[in-house]
Amino acid sequence: MPIRVRRGFWHYRFKMRGKPYSGTTGFEGTAKNRRAAEKFEAAERQRMLSTTVNPLPARLDFAAAAGMFIAHCEDVRYRSKPASAQRIKVSFTALVAFFGEFQLGAVDADLIEAFKESRVVDCGVRDITIRHDLHALSLFFQYAERKGWMKGNPVRNVKIPSDRDAVRMTVLTDEQEKAYFAEAEKIVDKAGRRNLYDVGRLMINQGFRPEEITRSRKEQFNERARTFTVVAGKTKAAGRTVDLTEESFQIAQRRNEIAGPWLFPSERYVGQPITKLNNSHDRACRNAKVSFVLYDLRHTFGTRMATEAKIDPFTLAAIMGHANLRTIMRYVHPQQEEKKRAMERYEAAMKRKKLRKVVG
């Protein structure tokens, strides 16, 4: 927290390049003075920034610095989380294309706003993508500050779409599902395997993330117990074991007969699993005249489980591998009639409880 009340006055406290700074703002610690104290803290931070001796490189452009940052993410910061490093790398494809030739010091809030506009107008991306891009950019500037390449993080002065506004979720209708999988079933590799169809069916039947399926090994499938153990998830809930539907079991059983350790081996890279299905998915969507991202098959599963099967949020979170209930609540939208019945059940339970006390 940049400011806090101590001994009746607003005090500031922050760190800059690992060194702590603190002191009094001189303003009485009341709510009325909070804004003035925050301005004082910001001015003090700027003063310390301008007086800190840390010479910057004479010339370092964005592209060169980005390359070093991505290497740092892959080799150090996210070495144990390759999916996070890959997500940052994907964002930097667009970031380098826009900022690449600029020097670091020239990238300010106005230029970042121009980048946001370009992503929407020229590329047609959604808020969720912009949020990911700006998050990656902010991490980059924090890294650049620690390296002494620049002063300040201009992303702090830019409005970032909130996680609620940036949620990208399409729930397929029965008709859309039927049309999409009719086209996906036609797409086969040289070995005659329906990779897109099988991955898609496992996602919409079980709520798997795509990478949890495409990188799965045969030992994760327990044919006798008819279960699948997820070990490649992105949260602490990874490692969950789920029961398979009949269709999912048939797909896993068929895949288990393929040579090699992977359920979804790559045709192009021998000994490796498949990594992407983007081209196949886009082709199926075009032919089926539908538009959604592959991940929406997981969203569709979650929504159907919550609204049609009436699965409680705790169980659904465990099935889908969510570490907390905040994300899972996207799928839970109780209707007024359901809430009314819930209150009736609660009232009945309380009456039974009081009756037992009287009888006892």
**Structure tokens given for 303:** 């929504």
Mean pLDDT, the chain, as a whole number?
85
The verdict on 94 and 122 lying in the same domain is: yes
Lowest mean pLDDT among 19-28, 148-157, 267-276: 19-28
The verdict on 153 and 196 lying in the same domain is: no
Per-residue pLDDT averaged across 29-33, rounded? Answer: 85
Give the range with max mean pLDDT: 39-53, 166-180, 191-205, 224-238: 191-205
Per-residue pLDDT band for 54 (boundaries 50, 70, 90) equals very low
pLDDT digits (tens, 9 = 90+) for 124-163: 777 878 888 999 999 999 999 888 888 889 999 998 887 6
β-strand partners of 262: 217
The verdict on 26 and 116 lying in the same domain is: no
The verdict on 303 and 225 lying in the same domain is: yes
Give the range with max mean pLDDT: 21-30, 187-196, 317-326, 338-347: 187-196
The verdict on 81 and 15 lying in the same domain is: no
The verdict on 181 and 323 lying in the same domain is: yes
Per-residue pLDDT averaged across 6-11, rounded? Answer: 83
265 touches 247 (CB < 8 A): no
The verdict on 236 and 320 lying in the same domain is: yes
**Residue 12 domain-assigned (yes or no):** yes
**Residue 333 domain-assigned (yes or no):** no
Number of compact structural domains in the chain: 3
**Residue 305 domain-assigned (yes or no):** yes
25 touches 12 (CB < 8 A): yes
Strands (E), the chain: 3-6, 9-16, 19-28, 221-222, 227-229, 241-243
The verdict on 146 and 232 lying in the same domain is: no
**Residue 343 domain-assigned (yes or no):** no
pLDDT digits (tens, 9 = 90+) for 55-72: 445 468 899 999 999 998
Give how far Cα 270 sits from Cα of 197, 217, 231, 262, 319, Å.
Answer: 21, 15, 22, 11, 32
Query: How many Cβ atoms from other residues are within 10 Å of residue 34's Cβ?
Result: 15
Q: Which residues contact 118 (CB under 8 A, 6 or more apart)?
A: 98
**Whole-prediction pTM:** 0.56
Residue 287 clears pLDDT 50, i.e. is over it: yes
Strands 9-16 and 3-6: antiparallel
| Domain membership of residue 116 as a residue range | 62-157
Distance CA 197, CA 247 (A): 12
The verdict on 190 and 296 lying in the same domain is: yes
Per-residue pLDDT band for 27 (boundaries 50, 70, 90) equals confident
b/e per residue, 272-286, with b = 16+ CB within 10 A?
A: ebbeebeebbeebbe
pLDDT digits (tens, 9 = 90+) for 210-261: 999 999 999 999 999 999 999 855 555 557 899 999 999 999 999 999 999 9
Per DSSP, the three-state class of 257 is coil
The CATH number linked to 91 is 1.10.150
The verdict on 216 and 263 lying in the same domain is: yes
Share of the chain above pLDDT 90, in %: 40
The CATH number linked to 267 is 1.10.443.10
The verdict on 180 and 230 lying in the same domain is: yes
54 touches 66 (CB < 8 A): no
pLDDT at position 168, please? 61
**Structure tokens given for 321:** 């591998």
**Residue 341 domain-assigned (yes or no):** no
**Residue 35 domain-assigned (yes or no):** yes
CA atoms within 13 A on the CB side of 183: 16
The verdict on 273 and 228 lying in the same domain is: yes
**Residue 334 domain-assigned (yes or no):** no
Residue with token string 């009094």: 24
pLDDT at position 66, please? 92
pLDDT at position 312, please? 87
**Structure tokens given for 232:** 């490649």
**Residue 92 domain-assigned (yes or no):** yes
